[in-house]
Amino acid sequence: MGLLLSASHQVLEFACRKAFKRYRQQANDLEMVQRQKLDQFLKQHTSQSLNYENFAEQYPLTRYADWKEKIEQSRQSEKNCLGPGKIVRFQPTSGSSEALKFIPYTQHFLNELDEAIGLWLSNLYRQHPQLKNSTHYWSVSWLPESQRKLLENSNLNDDSALLNVSKRVLSKVTQSVPTDIALAESAEDAMFATAVFLVADKNLGMISVWSPTFALQLLDIIEQYQEEIVTVLKTGLWSRQGLNYLPAPKSSEQSYKLQRLNLQDPLAWKELWTKLTLISSWDTASAERWAKDLQNRVANVAFEGKGLWATEGVVTIPFADRFPLSYQSHFYEFILQDSEQAVPAWQLKLGDIVSPVITTGSGLIRYVIDDELEVVDFYQTIPCFRFLGRKMTVDLVGEKLDHSVAVKVLAEFKQEDYLPISILGIENCSQKKPHYIMLSEGNIHKQPSAAALDQLLKENFHYELARNLGQLDEPEVKHVENAWDYYKTLAMKNGMIEGNIKPEPLKKMKTKII
């Protein structure tokens, strides 16, 4: 296995090298590359030949609602109603306005993503050459159980499916966890099986997840079910009936290691996985706190933040100690914060606060991603960004509560031993009108009253008006022992995808747990 693993990494690195070279060699030609991308897209999807200026005049900015009908038609007819090329998968995601969205992926679109993945992997091999002699774990996103039967025939839980065919075959050899875990009866079983396979793998060198809370949850499972995992690895038999379809891993060596470790010691994880070199996850905006917790939890392992990668497309990747635009992937524009004007990537300036707009091989044209970025640097002519957060505006009845208001309120109530983590807009409740809940943990004696929360929220004009008019009910303070667990449970109850959930300062929920 050692020789096969090393050889597979060598071939995979070679396959990714073209993307790395192309990115560096054309980094001074951003406008030329981007205009070519647009021209190719228009010829393939519209049979038109327009320059950028005419394109921007002719096509409006769009969001998911503008494409939903065509996407549903494509799903039902099994024909691509958005453009040429066969749709190879519909990738589910959740958003503030939709419990579940389906983004069409064509081969052309996957090739665009492959440009970013190839660059990322090639860069990783250069920075951490020891990864060539280890296995990797790339996270999967578990679907809510109510949606599993609907989507069971799709390759939705395998992040390596974003690679092209040759890289995907090679990545299977280098992956630590089998994709069949996605077929588990429940998300709980799937997470447990993932933890077992990770512990069983003495060659694990990289853990790559989107949300740091997802990685923390896996570590919690290993710690919580330490003895059960030891038994599974000793016997090669599952202790849970829902996993009997899947051959259980067996490793006396790893079983013995796990049994004697104190997993509350940050040094213990490196004893369990002696080759573990790198952990990668989101680490900015609302994920920053959890990323720090993850780094503190596992000692002596390098950490890398993620770029901005939405289900609809990739925007930035980690490269050269920055997060530059993945300009070889899609065609990019950006909405300037001050003017609400969309400009092409080559017109961005240092200090611009922007939201991305992408035109991709999936057929989505001028699709707005409601995230906020700041231009902080340039790699040659390529803008580099800092992720500021989602442009989260919750609007239950016209109150237009935005992200900055929520951040201010949470900061106002935060104390050394009391932590409010999120303000939730509850859309439907049988006992009350729409209202807000502040979710918190810590010293219960430090929690503010509902009236104090209400007063602070009333500093927002539209919120106060909605309260005065009786459109919004009084807010609540929901104090729990583990606010993240409660948040995740509530988000999944609202139809969101577990692996993609991260605590946001402000979030709309359709219902709450009473």
Write the CA distances from 336 to 358, 372, 373, 485, integer angstroms: 14, 10, 10, 36
Query: Which H/E stretch holds residue 358?
Result: strand 353-359
Structural domains of the chain, ranges and CATH numbers in brackets: 393-509 (3.30.300)
> Alpha helices, DSSP H only, in 130-249?
145-151, 165-174, 187-200, 212-224, 226-235
Q: Which residues of 169-188 are buried (b: 16+ CB within 10 A; e: fewer)?
A: ebbeebbbbbeebbbbeebe
Backbone angles phi, psi at 79, to 5 degrees: -125, 150
Distance (Å, whole) CA 209 – CA 278: 11
pTM, two decimals, is 0.79
Specify whether the CB–CB gap between 503 and 493 falls below 8 A: no
Neighbouring residues of 512: CB distance < 8 A, sequence distance ≥ 6: 424, 426, 429, 437, 490
pLDDT of 163 reads 58
The one-letter amino acid at 68: K
Residues of the chain with confidence (pLDDT) below 50: 96-97, 99, 144-146, 155-158
Backbone angles phi, psi at 357, to 5 degrees: -130, 125
Strands (E), 30-123: 87-93, 101-106
Going 214 to 220 to 224 to 230, the CA torsion angle's sign is positive
Distance (Å, whole) CA 157 – CA 494: 19
pLDDT of 1 reads 53
Backbone angles phi, psi at 326, to 5 degrees: -80, 65
pLDDT of 157 reads 42
pLDDT of 261 reads 98
The one-letter amino acid at 303: F
User: 166 exposed, middle or buried (CB, 10 Å; 0-12, 13-18, 19+)?
Assistant: exposed
Q: Which one, of 201, 191, 194, 167, lies nearest residue 178 by Cα?
A: 194
Model confidence pLDDT, tens digit, residues 405-426: 899 999 999 999 999 999 999 9
